[in-house]
Structure 1
Amino acid sequence: MKQKFQISGISCGGCVARVKKTLENHPNIEKAEIFLAPKGATIITMNETLSVEDIQKQLDELNGYTISKINQ
Structure 2
Amino acid sequence: MKQNFQINGISCGGCVARVKKTLEEHPNIEKAEISLTPKGTTKITMNESLSVAELQKQLDRLNGYTITAI
TM-score category (smaller protein): over 0.9
Q: Tell me, what secondary structure is at the counterpart of 2:55?
A: helix
Distance 2:14 2:35 in 1: 12
The residue that corresponds to 1:19 in the other structure is 19
Cα distance between partner residues in 2 of 1:20 and 1:61 = 12
**What's the % identity of the aligned pairs?**
80
Amino acid at match of 1:23: L
Q: Which runs of 5+ in 2 are unaligned?
A: none
CA distance in 1 between counterparts of 2:8 and 2:25 reads 19
Q: Deviations over 1:29-66 (max 9, x none)?
A: 00000000010000000000000000000000000000
Compute the TM-score of the two structures, normalised by the length of structure 2.
Answer: 1.00
Within-5 A mapping of 1:1-72: 1-70=1-70
Matched residue type, 1:38: P
Q: Which runs of 5+ in 1 are unaligned?
A: none
Give me the CA root mean square deviation: 0.2
Count, aligned residues? 70
Alignment partners' CA distance in 2, 1:31 and 1:58? 14
Q: Which amino acid aligns with 1:42?
A: T
